[in-house]
């Protein structure tokens, strides 16, 4: 770890200005599932001036890479994660953005990166704080089940260096926090507990519960990488419809064209941008009117979207993956852990026929109601003060 020791308590007492580096425009709700937007907006609500620095890859260079080098690399499985973002070329330009930003915003008290991939340590004497979800190295272990190729390893090495030398590292999920604490010598690695709801909407509970009582809609939220879970849900609902249980599936994040021979009871909305009023209204109407949310995609079932759906009183069917179980325990009163997609139809039916359905809805909301951004940022700032 970097030998420079910062008095974080003194820093927090006087924290007035923060450089926030994000891969995308943090002022837009559409960036990274709204996370950067709510993070920075809440910092501002706490009286901290935020300097927004967008480190998003150059579109021209990204497209040139995508339609040339990437076309060759992605055909070889050992290089399929080596996107433009991971290349030394992109790192060169991002580092230049970082260097210029710390020069421009000399009065900033610290540099905050909403990822583990980059750092201001080479360019600034101010503290560097990283905040992220997964390391690139663990991505290969957990999802790819292989070691990084030589090219991919170059990015792993750079990211590891950023984590080791950061003055503080915050991790969104408990399992990843445990992995990082065991893998790195940096002692300032933290998991804050709980999570955050990426929503600014408050609605009448009684009205929402009344909609759900008569609903036949199942909501599924996820991009194409969650397709396996969506297909499992479609198969399960087909079985139930054969029993004259006429449910609908409403998929947010994928389009009709992402599937072949899609049944007429499945409705796809594609990506819904909360920054656009029409999309935002559609999204929240689905949240309020759904009977439940289901996502049983192996390994990872859309943590953020399920948490948000719970806030809107939706019972849950998901898989018992580590981070969800760590957050909500092995037994959940607001839904069902599915361990075999062959039983998914039965699990859906259990919720439909439950005499405790309304209580499941209420328990879902109660489990996450304190996951506010205000609470989360308070914990973030308080932890910095303790260092």
The model's confidence at residue 58, banded by pLDDT at 50, 70 and 90, is very high
**pLDDT over 70 at 5, yes or no:** no
CATH of 205-368, one of 3.40.50.10860, 3.40.50.2000, 3.40.50.2300, 3.90.420.10: 3.40.50.2000
**205-368 and 8-196+373-386 share a CATH fold:** yes
| pLDDT value for 9 | 63
**Residue 284 and residue 201 in contact, taking contact as beta carbons nearer than 8 Å:** yes
**pLDDT over 80 at 11, yes or no:** no
* Superfamily classification of domain 8-196+373-386: Glycogen Phosphorylase B; (3.40.50.2000)
**Residue 223 and residue 252 in contact, taking contact as beta carbons nearer than 8 Å:** no
| Sequence ranges of the domains in the chain | 8-196+373-386, 205-368
What is the side-by-side strand order in the sheet with 168-171? 49-54, 17-22, 110-113, 128-132, 168-171, 189-191
| pLDDT value for 1 | 44
The model's confidence at residue 387, banded by pLDDT at 50, 70 and 90, is confident
**Residue 150 and residue 169 in contact, taking contact as beta carbons nearer than 8 Å:** no
Residue 82: how many other CB atoms lie within 10 Å = 23
- How far is Cα 384 from Cα 322, in angstroms, rounded to an integer? 26
Average pLDDT over residues 342-370: 97
Of 258, 200, 249, the closest CA to residue 227 belongs to 258
Burial of residue 192, with CB atoms counted within 10 A of its CB: 0-12 exposed, 13-18 middle, 19 or more buried: buried
- How far is Cα 20 from Cα 30, in angstroms, rounded to an integer? 17
**Residue 257 and residue 239 in contact, taking contact as beta carbons nearer than 8 Å:** no
| pLDDT value for 70 | 82
Average pLDDT over residues 150-156: 94
Lookup: tokens for 163: 């984590």
Of 234, 217, 230, 357, the closest CA to residue 290 belongs to 217
Of 220, 228, 208, the closest CA to residue 249 belongs to 220
Q: What secondary structure does DSSP assign to 109-171, as a single string?
A: SEEEESSSS--STTT-SS-EEEEES--HHHHIIIII-S---HHHHHHHHHHHHHHHH-SEEEE
**pLDDT over 90 at 273, yes or no:** yes
Report the SS3 class of residue 18.
Answer: strand
**Which residues are bridge partners to 266 per DSSP?**
249
Query: Does pTM top 0.85 for this prediction?
Result: yes
Residues of the chain with pLDDT > 90, as a percent, come to: 85
Average pLDDT over residues 368-381: 95
**pLDDT over 80 at 326, yes or no:** yes
| pLDDT value for 203 | 73
Q: How many residues does the chain have?
A: 387
User: Exposed e or buried b for every residue in 234-247, given b needs 16+ CB within 10 A?
Assistant: bebbeebeeeeeeb
| pLDDT value for 325 | 96
- Measure CA 83 to chain center: 19
pLDDT digits (tens, 9 = 90+) for 177-220: 999 999 999 999 999 998 999 887 677 899 999 999 999 999 99
**pLDDT over 80 at 13, yes or no:** no
The model's confidence at residue 10, banded by pLDDT at 50, 70 and 90, is low
């Amino acid at each position: 770890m970097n030998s420079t020791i910062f008095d974080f308590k003194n820093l927090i007492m006087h924290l007035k200005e923060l450089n926030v580096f994000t891969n995308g425009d943090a002022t837009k709700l559409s960036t990274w599932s709204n996370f950067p937007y709510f993070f920075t907006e809440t910092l501002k609500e706490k009286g901290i001036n935020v300097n927004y620095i967008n480190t998003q890859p150059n579109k021209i260079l990204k497209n040139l890479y995508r339609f040339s080098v990437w076309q060759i690399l992605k055909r070889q499985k050992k290089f399929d994660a080596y996107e433009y973002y991971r290349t030394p070329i992109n790192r060169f330009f991002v580092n230049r953005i970082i260097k210029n930003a710390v020069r421009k915003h000399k009065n900033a008290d610290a540099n905050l990166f909403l990822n583990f991939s980059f750092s201001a340590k080479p360019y600034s004497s101010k503290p560097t704080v990283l905040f992220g979800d997964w390391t690139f190295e663990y991505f290969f272990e957990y999802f790819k089940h292989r070691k990084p190729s030589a090219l991919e390893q170059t990015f792993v090495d750079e990211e590891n260096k950023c984590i080791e030398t950061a003055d503080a590292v915050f991790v969104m999920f408990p399992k990843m926090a445990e992995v990082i604490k065991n893998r790195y010598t940096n002692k300032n690695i933290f998991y804050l507990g709980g999570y955050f709801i990426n929503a600014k909407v408050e609605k009448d509970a009684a009205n929402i519960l009344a909609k759900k009582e008569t609903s036949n809609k199942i909501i599924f939220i996820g991009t194409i990488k969650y397709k396996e879970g969506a297909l499992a849900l479609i198969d399960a609902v087909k079985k139930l419809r054969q029993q004259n249980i006429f449910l609908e599936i409403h998929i947010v994040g994928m389009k009709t064209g992402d599937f072949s021979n899609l049944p007429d009871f499945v409705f796809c909305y594609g990506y819904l941008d909360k920054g656009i009023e029409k999309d935002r209204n559609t999204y929240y109407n689905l949240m309020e009117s759904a009977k439940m949310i289901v996502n049983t995609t192996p390994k990872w079932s859309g943590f953020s979207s399920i948490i948000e759906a719970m806030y809107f009183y939706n019972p849950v069917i998901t898989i018992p993956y580590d981070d969800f179980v760590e957050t909500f325990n092995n037994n959940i009163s607001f839904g069902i852990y599915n361990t075999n997609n062959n039983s998914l139809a039965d699990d859906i039916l259990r919720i439909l026929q439950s005499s405790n359905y309304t209580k499941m809805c209420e328990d879902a909301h109660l489990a996450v109601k304190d996951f506010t951004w205000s609470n989360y940022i308070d914990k973030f700032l308080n932890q910095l003060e303790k260092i």
